[in-house]
């Protein structure tokens, strides 16, 4: 579905990505795993058009979209859930969903939005019970589920998730991950970045290991799990994620 080709991104003298190439396959989960500062966020920002590369290309369903602005990528189905749970914390849960639905597809009919919101509330009754509360009053896990649900309101073709487990308690991480597993079973295409390698490999079909801006290993999740278990990845300080 999406191919990153030989991407180089610099921040002044810092070379954040040094010739990264990878493929995100349809209907499944691809993971990018790497330590703090390895370049995962930069890679997701590149895919969303939030950083300009020195060099490289991005192919989406076979066509180059490297020159497209972020809005065009969003309109064509690339939804990005950023690191750090960015919500409108003073707005209610309901309004956050409404804003997300309108932002991504301004001409959605009211009935369609209502139906989609009903689906969110059926899946997460806790969000319904708190729908009139400011989003900032939700727990970290509830905020993460709200953000992912909001991203799904636009029925994206590709969902990008940057470290969805960051700062969450283990039991909540399990809830977020089982929701991602459900989305995968429903046919969604997901690209997930994680520092906790074993966690991402639990649900991913395929993975890439990023180390200081370069892909150093790749393979299906069984292969990468075996590398992790044999400590072959220990030099790059990945979180094991065996919580
Ligand atoms: N805006 C910026 N200006 C300068 N350097 C940056 C900027 N953003 C990231 N970097 C540097 O680029 C490198 C890659 O950072 P990036 O945030 O992409 O890594 P990451 O794997 O997502 O790390 P984290 O897990 O901390 O989010 C790091 O050395 C980082 O310090």
Q: What is the pLDDT of residues 5-34, one digit of tens each?
A: 999 999 999 999 999 999 999 999 999 999
Q: Would you say residue 241 has pLDDT above 60?
A: no
pTM of structure:
0.91
Domain edge (last residue) among 130, 155, 180: 155
**Does residue 170 share a domain with residue 146?**
no
The ipTM assigned to this model is 0.93
**Does residue 236 share a domain with residue 130?**
no
89-107 confidence digits (pLDDT tens):
999 999 999 888 776 666 6
- Domain with residue 69: its CATH number is 3.40.50.300
The domain tally of the chain equals 2
Q: By three-state DSSP, how is residue 220 classified?
A: strand
C-beta separation of 138 from 93 below 8 A: yes
Domain edge (last residue) among 155, 189, 209: 155
- Look at the chain and count its residues: 243
Find out whether the beta carbon of 13 lies less than 6 Å from any atom of ligand 1: no
Which atom of ligand 1 is nearest to 38's Cα?
21
**Does residue 110 share a domain with residue 64?**
no
Q: Where are the beta strands (DSSP E) in 42-130?
A: 55-60, 63-64, 78-81
**Does residue 93 share a domain with residue 71?**
no
**Does residue 134 share a domain with residue 119?**
yes
56-86 confidence digits (pLDDT tens):
999 999 999 999 999 899 889 999 988 876 7
Domain edge (last residue) among 133, 155, 177: 155
Find out whether the beta carbon of 221 lies less than 6 Å from any atom of ligand 1: no
**Does residue 163 share a domain with residue 53?**
yes
What is the domain range of residue 211? Answer: 1-77+157-243
Distance from Cα 213 to the centre of ligand 1, integer Å: 10
Find out whether the beta carbon of 11 lies less than 6 Å from any atom of ligand 1: yes
For residue 180, CA distances in Å to 75, 141, 187 come to 22, 13, 11
**Does residue 129 share a domain with residue 101?**
yes
**Does residue 176 share a domain with residue 105?**
no
Residue to substitute in 8, 12, 13, 14 for testing ligand 1 pocket (most ligand atoms within 8 angstroms of CB): 14
**Does residue 179 share a domain with residue 72?**
yes
**Does residue 4 share a domain with residue 47?**
yes
């Amino acid at each position: 579905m999406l191919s990153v080709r030989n991407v180089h991104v610099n921040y002044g003298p810092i070379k954040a990505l040094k010739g990264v190439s990878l493929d995100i396959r349809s209907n499944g989960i691809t993971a990018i795993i790497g330590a703090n500062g390895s370049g995962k966020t930069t890679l997701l920002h590149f895919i969303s058009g939030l950083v300009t590369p020195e060099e490289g290309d991005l192919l989406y369903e076979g066509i180059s979209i490297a020159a497209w602005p972020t809005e065009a990528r969003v309109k064509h189905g690339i939804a990005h859930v950023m690191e750090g749970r960015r919500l409108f914390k003073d707005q209610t849960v309901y309004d956050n969903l409404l804003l997300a639905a309108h932002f991504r597809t301004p001409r959605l009919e009211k009935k369609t939005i209502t139906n989609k919101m009903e689906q969110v509330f059926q899946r997460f009754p806790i969000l319904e019970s708190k729908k009139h509360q400011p989003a900032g009053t939700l727990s970290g896990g509830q905020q993460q589920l709200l953000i992912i649900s909001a991203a799904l309101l636009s029925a994206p073709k590709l969902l990008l998730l940057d470290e969805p487990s960051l700062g969450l308690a283990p039991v909540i991480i399990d809830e977020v991950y089982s929701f991602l597993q459900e989305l995968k079973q429903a046919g969604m295409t997901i690209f997930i970045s994680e520092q906790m390698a074993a966690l991402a490999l639990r649900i991913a079909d395929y993975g890439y290991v990023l180390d200081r801006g370069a892909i150093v290993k790749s393979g299906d999740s069984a292969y990468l799990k075996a590398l992790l278990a044999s400590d072959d990845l220990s030099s790059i300080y990945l979180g094991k994620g065996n919580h």
